[in-house]
Amino acid sequence: MLVFILLSLTLGYLVQTGHPLTSLLVGEFFLYLGIGGALLAIAGSLVKKGHFRLWFDLFASSALLVWFAYWKTQFNDDSPMFFFFPVYFAAMSAFISLAFIGPSERLDPESLRYMRLLAEHKGLQPWIIMLGTLGSLQLLDHYLVFPVLITLLLLRFALDSCVELNNRRNA
């Protein structure tokens, strides 16, 4: 999720420094670009072909663009969420990569079996979490739902990554 981490850090920096580029990022072009990328990622995760990491990264980055373009126009310019949420997303992505995906080769077979069962659970499919994340962008009064769902998406990414890495090792 390197693109998502870099985009999050870039947004945090641009907002903190008051860079004029932020006014460009709240335009309709980036809003529609983000929606298109998010819908493409949802379709890609439904097909389950190709690299799942690409679909997660594309969705998370696109959802971040939509969030910023849509919400920045709805809240005050000095709202701290536009700095703290992107920094939180970058830190959480890095933490999940280092704490869960990195040491996945040391997982015991029983844990892997539970992880595979959880990955196959119908209620935790990536496309469901992705649709919920996009829907949460309409909940302006409940502004913490979006970061919670992005965190859930990151955890699902870690689960899929661990299962996939161990499947490759055992093949």
pLDDT at residue number 49: 61
Q: Are 34 and 2 in contact (CB under 8 A)?
A: no
pLDDT at residue number 171: 59
For residue range 146-171, what is the model confidence (pLDDT) as tens digits? 999 999 999 899 888 888 877 777 75
For residue range 124-138, what is the model confidence (pLDDT) as tens digits? 888 999 999 999 999
Q: Which H or E element spans position 98?
A: none
> Any idea which residue has 């093949």 for tokens?
171
Stretches where the chain sits below pLDDT 50 are: none
pLDDT at residue number 37: 95
Measured N-to-C along each axis, helices 81-96 and 2-17 cross at an angle, to the nearest 10 degrees, of: 150
pLDDT at residue number 108: 76
Rounded CA separation 128/112 (Å): 23
